Amino acid sequence: MTALLEIADIRKVFGGLTALDGVSFTLASGQILGLVGPNGSGKSTLLNVLSGIYTPEAGEVRLAGQSLRGRAPHQIAKAGLARSFQNQQLFTGLSVVDNVLVGRACRLQAGVLASIFGGLAFRREEAAARQQAVDLLTLVGLGWAAEAEVQRLSYGQRRLLEIARALASDPKVLLLDEPCAGLSQAEADDLAVVITRLKTQGLAVIVIEHNMRFVMGLVDRIVALNFGQKIGEGTPAEIRANPAVVAAYLGGSSRAAH
Amino acid sequence: MLQTLLQVALTGATMGCIYALVALGFTLTIAAAGVVNFAYSEWVTYGAYIGVTLVAVLGLPLWLGLLLTVGLCAVMGYAFQVVVFAPLEGKHFLTTVSATIGVALAMQAAATLIWGPYALTLPTFFGTGSLTIGGVALFPHSLLIVGITAVLIAGMQRALTRTDIGLRLQAAAQDPVAARLMGIPIRRMRTLAYCLSAALAGLAGFMVAPLFVVTTTMGFGLMLKGFAATIVGGWGSLKGAVLGGLAVGLIEAFGAAYLSSEYKDSIAFAMIVVVLLLRPSGLFPERIAEKF
Amino acid sequence: MRMGAGLLLVALALPLVIGNNYQLGIAHQALILILLASGYNLLLGFTGLVSFGHIALFAIGAYTSAILVVTFGLPFLVGLVAAAVLTGVVGVLIAVPALRIKGHYLTLLTLALGEVIRLAIRGMESLTHGSAGFSGIPRPSLLGFAFRTGTELYYLLLACVVLGVLFIARLERSRFGRAFKAIRDGETAAEVCGVDTAAMKVLAFGLSAVFAGVAGGLYAHTMRFISPEFFSLSLTITLLAMVLIGGRGTVLGPVVGAVLLTVLPEWLRFVKDYYLIVFGLAIWACTMFLPQGLIGLATRVFARKGRPA
User: HEC states along chain B?
Assistant: CHHHHHHHHHHHHHHHHHHHHHHHHHHHHHHHHCCCCCCHHHHHHHHHHHHHHHHHHCCCCHHHHHHHHHHHHHHHHHHHHHHHHHHHCCCCHHHHHHHHHHHHHHHHHHHHHHHCCCCECCCCCCCCCCEEECCEEECHHHHHHHHHHHHHHHHHHHHHHHCHHHHHHHHHHHCHHHHHHCCCCHHHHHHHHHHHHHHHHHHHHHHHHHHCCECCCHHHHHHHHHHHHHHHHCCCCHHHHHHHHHHHHHHHHHHHHHHCCCCHHHHHHHHHHHHHHHCCCCCCCCCCCCCC
Top pLDDT among C96 and C145 is at C96
- What confidence category does residue B20 fall into, taking pLDDT thresholds of 50, 70 and 90? very high
Torsional sign, CA C234, C237, C243, C244 = negative
**Cβ of C190 and A101 within 8 Å?**
no
* B161 touches C: beta carbon within 8 Å: no
Q: What DSSP assignment string belongs to A46-101?
A: HHHHHTTSS--SEEEEEETTEE-TT--HHHHHHHTEEE--SS----TTSBHHHHHH
Give the pLDDT confidence score for residue B174 in this predicted structure: 75
* B265 touches C: beta carbon within 8 Å: yes
End-to-end CA distance of chain C: 25
- What is the average pLDDT score of chain A? 88
- What confidence category does residue A132 fall into, taking pLDDT thresholds of 50, 70 and 90? very high
For the stretch A133-159, pLDDT in tens is 999 999 988 999 989 999 999 888 898
Instruction: State the Cα–Cα distance between residues A216 and A237, nearest whole angstrom.
Output: 9
Instruction: State the Cα–Cα distance between residues C45 and C211, nearest whole angstrom.
Output: 15
* C22 touches B: beta carbon within 8 Å: no
**Cβ of A94 and C181 within 8 Å?**
yes
Q: Residue B102 in contact with residue B39, Cβ under 8 Å?
A: no
Give the pLDDT confidence score for residue B288 in this predicted structure: 41
Q: Residue C181 in contact with residue C195, Cβ under 8 Å?
A: no
For the stretch C171-194, pLDDT in tens is 999 999 999 999 999 999 999 999
| Average pLDDT, integer, range C53-74 | 95
Beta carbons within 10 angstroms of residue A66's beta carbon: 12
Give the pLDDT confidence score for residue C116 in this predicted structure: 93
Give the pLDDT confidence score for residue A173 in this predicted structure: 95
Residue C233 identity (one-letter amino acid): L
The minimum CA-CA distance between C223 and chain B, rounded to whole Å, is 27
Query: Which of C179, C192, C203 is nearest residue A77 as measured by Cβ atoms?
Result: C192
Nearest to C42 by CA among C219, C165, C218: C165
The minimum CA-CA distance between C274 and chain B, rounded to whole Å, is 7
* C122 touches A: beta carbon within 8 Å: no
Give the pLDDT confidence score for residue C242 in this predicted structure: 94
Q: What b/e sequence results for C243-274 when a residue is b if at least 16 CB atoms lie within 10 Å of its CB, and e otherwise?
A: bbbbbbbbbbbbbbbbbbbbeeeeeeeeeebe
* A53 touches C: beta carbon within 8 Å: yes
**pTM recorded for the entire structure:** 0.90
Q: Residue B169 in contact with residue B192, Cβ under 8 Å?
A: yes
Q: Which residues of A touch C178 (CB under 8 A)?
A: 94, 98, 101-102, 105
Nearest to B103 by CA among C230, C270, C288, C50: C288
Give the pLDDT confidence score for residue B290 in this predicted structure: 36
| Average pLDDT, integer, range C25-38 | 95
* C190 touches A: beta carbon within 8 Å: yes
Query: Which of C48, C123, C273 is nearest residue B113 as measured by Cβ atoms?
Result: C273
Q: What DSSP assignment string belongs to A5-44?
A: EEEEEEEEEETTEEEEEEEEEEEETT-EEEEE-STTSSHH
- Res B287 pLDDT > 60: no
Least confident of B126-135, B199-208, B233-242, C8-17: B126-135
Residue C198's contacts (CB-CB under 8 Å, 6 or more residues apart) are A72, C99
| Average pLDDT, integer, range B2-8 | 82
| Average pLDDT, integer, range A174-181 | 91
Instruction: State the Cα–Cα distance between residues B216 and B203, nearest whole angstrom.
Output: 17
- Res A253 pLDDT > 50: no
Give the pLDDT confidence score for residue B106 in this predicted structure: 93
End-to-end CA distance of chain A: 33
- Res A200 pLDDT > 50: yes
**Cβ of C181 and A91 within 8 Å?**
yes
| Average pLDDT, integer, range A150-179 | 92
Give the pLDDT confidence score for residue A33 in this predicted structure: 93
* C291 touches A: beta carbon within 8 Å: no
**Cβ of A73 and C192 within 8 Å?**
yes
In the complex, which subunits touch A with 3 or more CB pairs below 8 angstroms?
C
- What confidence category does residue C58 fall into, taking pLDDT thresholds of 50, 70 and 90? very high
Residue B30's contacts (CB-CB under 8 Å, 6 or more residues apart) are B36, B230, B235, B236
* B269 touches C: beta carbon within 8 Å: yes
Half-sphere exposure of B128 (CA within 13 A, CB side): 3
Give the highest mean pLDDT range of B138-142, B154-158, B181-185, C111-115: C111-115
Give the pLDDT confidence score for residue B291 in this predicted structure: 31
Long-range pairs for B77-83 at CB < 8 Å and ≥24 separation? Answer: B77/B43, B77/B194, B77/B195, B77/B196, B77/B197, B77/B198, B77/B199, B78/B191, B78/B194, B78/B195, B78/B198, B80/B39, B80/B194, B80/B198, B81/B190, B81/B191, B81/B194, B81/B195
- Res C83 pLDDT > 90: yes
Q: How many residues does chain B have?
A: 292
Give the pLDDT confidence score for residue C160 in this predicted structure: 95
Least confident of A200-209, B26-35, C91-100, C280-289: B26-35
- What is the average pLDDT score of chain C? 90
Give the pLDDT confidence score for residue C305 in this predicted structure: 65
Q: What is the largest CA-CA distance in chain B?
A: 60
Give the pLDDT confidence score for residue C306 in this predicted structure: 55
Q: Residue A29 in contact with residue A220, Cβ under 8 Å?
A: no
Give the pLDDT confidence score for residue B135 in this predicted structure: 66
Give the pLDDT confidence score for residue B30 in this predicted structure: 85
Q: E strands within C87-237?
A: 134-135, 141-142, 145-146, 225-226
Question: What percent of chain A stands above pLDDT 90?
Answer: 47
* A55 touches C: beta carbon within 8 Å: no
Q: Residue B44 in contact with residue B201, Cβ under 8 Å?
A: yes
- Res B264 pLDDT > 70: yes
Q: Which residues of C touch B97 (CB under 8 A)?
A: 50, 104, 107
- Res C92 pLDDT > 80: yes
Nearest to A35 by CA among A258, A189, A159, A206: A206
| Average pLDDT, integer, range C214-226 | 95
Give the pLDDT confidence score for residue B137 in this predicted structure: 73
- Res B96 pLDDT > 50: yes
**Cβ of C116 and B102 within 8 Å?**
no
- Res A1 pLDDT > 70: no
In the beta sheet, which residues pair with residue A34?
Answer: A207, A222
- What is the average pLDDT score of chain B? 85
Top pLDDT among C301 and C110 is at C110
Q: Residue B246 in contact with residue B233, Cβ under 8 Å?
A: no
Per-domain residue ranges of chain C: 24-232
Instruction: State the Cα–Cα distance between residues A143 and A155, nearest whole angstrom.
Output: 16
